[in-house]
Amino acid sequence: MKFISWNVNGFRAVLGKGFREIFSSLDADFFALQETKMKEGQADFSPEGYYAYYAYANRPGYSGTAIFAKKQALSVSFGIEGKHTDEGRVITLEYDSFYLVNAYVPNAQDELKRIDYRMEFEEDMRKYLLTLSERKSVIYCGDLNVAHEEIDIKNARANVGKAGFSYEERGKMSELLAAGFADSFRELYPERVKYSWWSYRFHARENNAGWRLDYFIISRDLLDKKYEAEIHNEIMGSDHCPVEFDIEL
């Protein structure tokens, strides 16, 4: 079973940059998007054989998530147990043996102006994922907006304390992993350096001066299954690249 997650930085924009061909070539069972910046029906994309699930912000052209799934979900929910619904950041699909949670985690912003909300979101998300994991395995994916360790960012020393590499955000990721979850990519590749986001400034992608912000976080019980994880930094179209998770379920 193949899962893809990609922050497309505007779904309508990436459709003009070869998204249809990328979507077809990756041939995922589940294709999760973040930062779609649109409402359902505002993009000309209806892939045959997929069910489409959209969450969108009250504010036009902002945030938003979507999932294209080959199998219809048993249930669908938005936000985190009734909270965090106004920015379209979270979609949960339920299936027989697992929950798929797609999230676009809030950016703490310059000078950590939104760190308090970010911490509230992280607390609520961890509790939510733990509740789900009591029932079924959890696959939590998306742009989680944090480079967890120094290996996950090119210029660690220069970015300590900044949004995406603050002690607070990194600490919340550590708490989540300690609570019974695993970073699928890092579990397989503890020393591999690969990034999923690059600034549009200073030729960052050309110089591979990136950050690993996009993840598949899984319940630790899934580590017993045969699985693979990949970061497709060869795929263009956004300031992020797709990340992949494959597992036999």
Catalytic residue among 54, 104, 140, 227: 104
Pairing of strands 214-219, 2-7: unpaired
> What is the reported pLDDT for 162?
97
The label of the residue with tokens 């970073």 reads 183
> What is the reported pLDDT for 213?
98
For the question of residue 143 being annotated catalytic, the response is yes
Q: What φ, ψ does residue 70 adopt, rounded to 5°?
A: -70, -25
> What is the reported pLDDT for 92?
98
What whole-number distance in Å separates Cα of residue 185 and Cα of residue 151? 12
> What is the reported pLDDT for 36?
98
Residue 117 token pair: 């909300």
Q: Which residues of the chain have pLDDT under 70?
A: none
What whole-number distance in Å separates Cα of residue 148 and Cα of residue 84? 23
> What is the reported pLDDT for 209?
96
> What is the reported pLDDT for 93?
98
Q: What's the pTM value of the predicted model, to 2 decimals? A: 0.98
The model's pLDDT over 20-40, given as tens digits with 9 standing for 90+, comes to 999 999 999 999 999 999 999
Contact 3, 244 (CB under 8 A): yes
What whole-number distance in Å separates Cα of residue 101 and Cα of residue 90? 7
Contact 193, 151 (CB under 8 A): yes
Catalytic residue among 143, 152, 183, 214: 143
